[in-house]
Chains A and B, each alone.
Chain A
Amino acid sequence: MHIPDNYLSPETCLIMGGAMVPVVAVSIRRVRVKMTRERLPLIGVGAALSFLMMMFNVPVPGGTTAHAVGGTLLAILLGPEAACLAIAAALLIQCLVFGDGGILAYGVNLFNMAFIMPFAGYAIYRFLVTRLAFRNTELIYAGIASYLAINIAALIAAIEFGIQPLLFTDAKGLPLYSPYPLKVSIPAMLIPHLTLAGLAEIVFTVGVLIFIKKVSPEILQNRPVSFHKISALLLLLIPLTPLGLLSAASAWGEWSNGELHQSLGYLPKGMAHGYNYQALLSGYSFKGMPGAVGYILSAVAGVALLVIFFRIFRMSRRKDEQH
């Protein structure tokens, strides 16, 4: 679901990015007010968790791949505003360091994955839990909410892809950016997410919630938490990330220019002459290193960067409180 650069027109990116500014600003303010200082680094752990979950690509019918995001899981664990910040940080590291998702398209990716997914998932979860309160149904509701939320986000991403050829064409009527119209993009995005990616999201959400309920229930009850236990979960996930390499294909809407040219027969003009950012560890791999090792190292580096970022953030917050 990480939309690369040049698939969407700069106008789309600008509007969506602009829309995300107030969302992020309000989230930061609410997190500052609501969350205690002891729980702040949990956002970093949440971001690292989401980062790792996005590395588990699952192969889907049609020769593409998709992945879970964990938006609903983080919203249930930390609250939707903190989840928004956590996923925003994970997406930022992904686009800057690993070239996954575009820089211009960062705002759009934020909108889909850091805004729609946690807030929609949390709303559905709260609705189910308060209206249909039976015993021991929270996990089931979490699963349902996560499944619906990832599909809502995928639908919105599909609409963003699909409206491009309607809005932006050149003199010959050929699309300038993403070439596929709504009737192609919506099924192409929704079929993977209704099937395997949705399933992966349910498995991750429910699995992690069960783990946390057993090992560290204080996280769910807004109390100070022990980070050793939750870090163990991250350390457990890192060596498993190469499972995400089992499917080598690109995800739908994330092809390289070469791949698109081959399947389409031409390259849309806006994409051929677009902005091209070369990330340091493009595609989560190191040149000349076995794929699995590179993938694990990328996971380590990404997780470490997120944890460092949020621990420093917490320290600056502590200084604010002292003054």
Chain B
Amino acid sequence: MNEKKNIPQWLMKPDELFEVGKKERFIEKNIHTLFKLLAAIRSRSNDHCFLSRIHPALKLFSLVVLLFLISLSRSMVFISTVGSCMLLLISILPVNIMKRILIMSLTAAVFMAVTLLPAFLVGIHGHYLLIVVKVWLTVSFSGLLVLTTSWHALIAALKLFRVPDLFILILDITLKYIVIFSDFTLNMFYALKLRSVGKTAKKAAPVAGIAGTLFLKSKEMSEDLYDAMVCRGFSGHYTTQVKRQWHWMDTACSVFVLALALSFFYFR
């Protein structure tokens, strides 16, 4: 507590990096967006929770089964059962993942509700609630998978489903290069910001330059990457280490999906 008192007052004030509320300038707005994107990608490595312990392949398979069951079901009882389970799952997640899933799924559900509004007003309200809840559930389950599994684990899981090597390679490189290119673009925007003074009418003019440089850079980098891979003995086959010990969460996940599948047939 004493240490806290020694910090001068001006250091305790939150520093607004970007002027919020005022009309942001074009460059700053872009920097802000890119910065947020990169921060979001980098912070993902910290997202660990009990669901991360399930084998990614099993998780992917469970998701596909659950999505099928949810979309095929026309019984409000089954959907409510899954909904209760979903609420329970969300309530025990780490709070940052919980918030993101809720924002994602509730946005989708509200959007669906608005889209269905005309049908509702005309007088077709038999399945109104059912469809909205289904959307909420499917988006929540997808969110659970995406937010609790690292992208590389997910790609490794694809290998188990016999997805072609080429496709996996493309996905893997895409994911890596999204980060690299974002970083690169961010640096270009920083450079642009440092050199621009005053106001200009052609605010969007530098974008073409940045996009063009980025394209040239990417072409160069892809050639370099391919050469590097060939030098290291890449022959087109993609091998992944997927062997992993069976965790008790895997059993729990299987039992959960099985129980929901049985209840699907029971409540039909």
Q: Which of B80, B90, B91, B95 contacts A314 (CB 8 A)?
A: B95
Residue of B87, B88, B91, B96 most packed against chain A (CB within 10 A): B91
Within 8 A of B (CB), among A271-323: 280-281, 286-289, 297-298, 300-301, 303-305, 307-308, 311-312, 314-315, 322-323
B179 → A minimal CB distance (Å):
27
Question: Does B76 contact A311, Cβ atoms closer than 8 Å?
Answer: no
* Chain B positions within 8 Å of A280 at CB level: 129
Rounded to whole angstroms, the CA-CA distance of A301 and B90 in the bound complex is: 11
Q: Which of B81, B83, B85, B98 contacts A312 (CB 8 A)?
A: B98
A308 → B minimal CB distance (Å):
5
Question: Does B90 contact A304, Cβ atoms closer than 8 Å?
Answer: yes
Residue of A287, A297, A298 most packed against chain B (CB within 10 A): A297
Question: Does A304 contact B80, Cβ atoms closer than 8 Å?
Answer: no
Q: Which of A287, A307, A315, A323 contacts B77 (CB 8 A)?
A: A287
Given A301-B83, A304-B84, A314-B95, check contact A289 B90 (CB 8 Å).
no
Question: Does A301 contact B77, Cβ atoms closer than 8 Å?
Answer: no
> B99: CB under 8 A from chain A?
yes
Given A286-B77, A304-B91, check contact A315 B84 (CB 8 Å).
no
* Chain B positions within 8 Å of A311 at CB level: 91, 95, 98
Number of interface residues of A (CB under 8 A): 21
Question: Does B95 contact A297, Cβ atoms closer than 8 Å?
Answer: no
Extra contacts, 18 of them, besides A305-B91, A312-B95 (Cβ < 8 A), are A286-B77, A286-B81, A287-B76, A287-B77, A288-B75, A300-B84, A300-B85, A301-B84, A303-B88, A304-B90, A304-B91, A307-B91, A307-B92, A308-B90, A311-B91, A311-B98, A315-B95, A322-B14
* Chain B positions within 8 Å of A307 at CB level: 91-92
Q: Which of A281, A304, A322 contacts B88 (CB 8 A)?
A: A304
- Closest partner residue, chain B, to A322 (CB atom): B14
| A–B pairs, 14, beta carbons within 8 Å | A286-B76, A286-B77, A286-B80, A287-B76, A288-B267, A297-B80, A297-B84, A300-B85, A301-B87, A301-B88, A304-B87, A308-B87, A308-B91, A308-B98
Rounded to whole angstroms, the CA-CA distance of A303 and B84 in the bound complex is: 10
Question: Does A312 contact B99, Cβ atoms closer than 8 Å?
Answer: yes
* Chain A positions within 8 Å of B95 at CB level: 311-312, 314-315
- Closest partner residue, chain B, to A288 (CB atom): B77
Question: Which size bracket describes the interface of B in this complex?
Answer: 20 to 34
> B51: CB under 8 A from chain A?
no
> B102: CB under 8 A from chain A?
yes
B213 → A minimal CB distance (Å):
38
Contact mask for chain B residues 79-118; partner A; CB cutoff 8 A; 1 contact, 0 none = 0110111011011100110110010000000000000000
Contact mask for chain B residues 49-85; partner A; CB cutoff 8 A; 1 contact, 0 none = 0000000000000000000000000011100110111
* Chain A positions within 8 Å of B83 at CB level: 301
* Chain B positions within 8 Å of A322 at CB level: 14
Question: Does A315 contact B99, Cβ atoms closer than 8 Å?
Answer: yes
* Chain A positions within 8 Å of B75 at CB level: 288
* Chain A positions within 8 Å of B267 at CB level: 288-289
Rounded to whole angstroms, the CA-CA distance of A288 and B76 in the bound complex is: 9
* Chain A positions within 8 Å of B92 at CB level: 307
- Closest partner residue, chain B, to A305 (CB atom): B87
- Closest partner residue, chain B, to A231 (CB atom): B92
- Closest partner residue, chain B, to A298 (CB atom): B84
Rounded to whole angstroms, the CA-CA distance of A300 and B86 in the bound complex is: 10
Within 8 A of B (CB), among A57-78: none
* Chain A positions within 8 Å of B77 at CB level: 286-289
Rounded to whole angstroms, the CA-CA distance of A133 and B75 in the bound complex is: 59
Question: Does A323 contact B80, Cβ atoms closer than 8 Å?
Answer: no
* Chain A positions within 8 Å of B76 at CB level: 286-287
* Chain A positions within 8 Å of B96 at CB level: 315
- Closest partner residue, chain B, to A48 (CB atom): B91
* Chain A positions within 8 Å of B87 at CB level: 300-301, 304-305, 308
- Closest partner residue, chain B, to A227 (CB atom): B92
* Chain B positions within 8 Å of A300 at CB level: 84-85, 87-88
- Closest partner residue, chain B, to A306 (CB atom): B91
Question: Does A308 contact B84, Cβ atoms closer than 8 Å?
Answer: no
Rounded to whole angstroms, the CA-CA distance of A304 and B81 in the bound complex is: 13
* Chain A positions within 8 Å of B81 at CB level: 286, 289, 297
- Closest partner residue, chain A, to B94 (CB atom): A311
Rounded to whole angstroms, the CA-CA distance of A308 and B97 in the bound complex is: 12
A282 → B minimal CB distance (Å):
12
Rounded to whole angstroms, the CA-CA distance of A300 and B82 in the bound complex is: 11
Residue of A280, A298, A314 most packed against chain B (CB within 10 A): A280
- Closest partner residue, chain A, to B266 (CB atom): A289
A247 → B minimal CB distance (Å):
24
- Closest partner residue, chain B, to A308 (CB atom): B91
* Chain B positions within 8 Å of A303 at CB level: 88, 91
